[in-house]
Amino acid sequence: MSLGAFHFLYPGWLLTVPPLLGWALWSLRRDRRSGGWASVVDAELLPALRLGAAERRSSPWVLIGIGWTLAALALAGPAWQRVQSAGYRAPDDWVVILDLSPSMSVGDVAPDRITRARYAIDDLLSAAQDARVGLIVFAGEAHTVVPLTSDVATIRSLLQPLSPAIMPEAGDEIAPALEGAGRLLRQALSRNASVIVFSDGFDDPDAGNAAAKTLRALGARVQVVGVGTVAGAPQLNAAGGFVQDSQGRSVLAHLPVDRLQALAAAGGGRYWSLEQMPALVAALQTQHANPLDTDAASAASDVDVWRNEGVWLLPVLLLMGVLIARRGWL
């Protein structure tokens, strides 16, 4: 024990000691003087009524004073050494945004863009560990499939049926999806957040970049994964044929890398290709890691805390409580 390190964690409890000790001393003096009968028996008659044993009767007030003092010391939390304790760190929050516009059916990446995006998201879910994950899809409008949850199995089961064919409206507007991600993060009071967008492009770059900047202001980073190739491939229509322009030529769905990079930059993140998914997963896992963590396998950081040694006074207090409660004392 180091006397220089000795202190009380909650010193305010020591203020309860002087009033109780004063009351205990006053009560002890009163009992020794009259046995407590002076207030109800005439002073001239009291000496004749006293028994000799009463003069030697023990009083509980000494033990009460000592017990109260020890209790106050225990509550004050005496401490003189530090111990390692696991520190709490808020979980990471990942909001996944999946593009379900018609161009996601293009087959420039095998077997097609939407299937490859689902594979990539599945890899992301496998690495979630203790992170909370939410899922939003968009085409002409945005729809929240799953709010932030740690139930990764549910998200994985709902991910499989997602395809452009199930969307009720055509279009390619990403801004509503980013705004929906912001609402999820605010509702969850998120502190460590990332928004991961899987898209092959969108039609509202100005509104999308503005929404990404709003997410960045909330403390979230927008990571963008491009799904497809720059060369692109013919886009399919609802009938299963190819979309053609006014001259009868097939419309190619190119991957607008510049537009996707601009969205990531606006959201404080970066652009990733499908081949870079392992690097993205590693970045998400370390993005909010505590720099004091030395054990990479540890989910929480260790912190130094003062150990409350007041617990060692409890056996003494229990023993004194038994003595004070003896029959005939109170």
Give the pLDDT means over successive 10-residue stretches in the chain (330 positions).
75 85 71 60 66 50 77 88 65 94 92 96 91 95 95 93 91 96 94 94 96 96 96 75 69 92 97 96 75 42 75 85 66
Q: Match 């000790």 to its residue by tokens.
A: 21
**In Å, how far are 94, 141, 253, 278, 281 from 136, measured between CA atoms?**
11, 10, 23, 22, 19
Q: Say if strands 82-86 and 92-99 run parallel, antiparallel, or are unpaired.
A: unpaired
Token pair in block for residue 64? 């009460």
Strand partners, 303: 85
- Kindly list the distances between the CA atom of residue 266 and the CA atoms of 97, 208, 217, in Å, as whole numbers in the listed order: 16, 9, 10
pLDDT on residue 250: 72
**pLDDT value, residue 196:** 98
Residue 245: predicted pLDDT: 64
Predicted local distance difference test score (pLDDT) of residue 39: 65
Task: Look up the pTM and report it.
Answer: 0.63
Query: What pLDDT score does 292 carry?
Result: 39
* C-alpha span between 72 and 299 (Å, rounded): 37
**How far apart are alpha carbons 29 and 167 in whole angstroms?**
88
* Domain residue limits, the chain: 3-81+307-324, 92-287
Q: Which of 323, 317, 315 is nearest to 68 (CA)?
A: 317
CA separation for the pair 101, 138 (Å, rounded): 7
Helices (H), 243-299: 257-266, 277-287
Report yes or no: 200 and 225 within 8 Å, Cβ to Cβ: no
DSSP letter at 267?
Answer: T
Domain 92-287 maps to which CATH number in 3.40.50.150, 3.20.20.70, 3.40.50.410, 3.30.1490.190? 3.40.50.410
From the centroid of its chain, how far is CA 73?
34
